[in-house]
Amino acid sequence: MGNYQICDFCGNLSEKRSRKMCASCEEDYRQIRDIVEAKPDTMVIDISRQTGIRVSKIIAFAQKGFFILNEGTIEGLD
Ligand SMILES: [Zn+2]
């Protein structure tokens, strides 16, 4: 396992990186973060629509503390 790790977000085995996520999840994270930084009140569902990233994954990033979701932004989602 030395140079590999399981991605926290998609479960794929990937090369060890500084963050506990694979390259494709890091790319997803960067897209989400850009939107949240530009418009902090963007709803999760809108982030999902703009990026094509699943809502559940966006929430997973938030729960791991990678960015802050404003209160109310996850209301009404499945
Ligand atoms: Zn991943």
| Chain segment 49-68, per-residue pLDDT in tens | 999 999 999 989 888 887 77
Count the domains in the chain.
1
68, part of any domain: no
Using alpha carbons, list the distances in angstroms from residue 73 to 6, 10, 42, 58, 61: 29, 23, 7, 11, 14
Ligand 1 centroid to 52 CA: how many Å? 15
The model's pTM:
0.76
Ligand 1 centroid to 45 CA: how many Å? 20
The boundaries of the domain holding residue 56 are 4-63
- Number of neighbouring beta carbons within 10 Å of residue 6: 14
75, part of any domain: no
58, part of any domain: yes
32, part of any domain: yes
Ligand 1 centroid to 7 CA: how many Å? 5
Q: Which residues of the chain have pLDDT under 70?
A: 1, 69-78
Ligand 1 centroid to 24 CA: how many Å? 6
Ligand 1 centroid to 75 CA: how many Å? 25
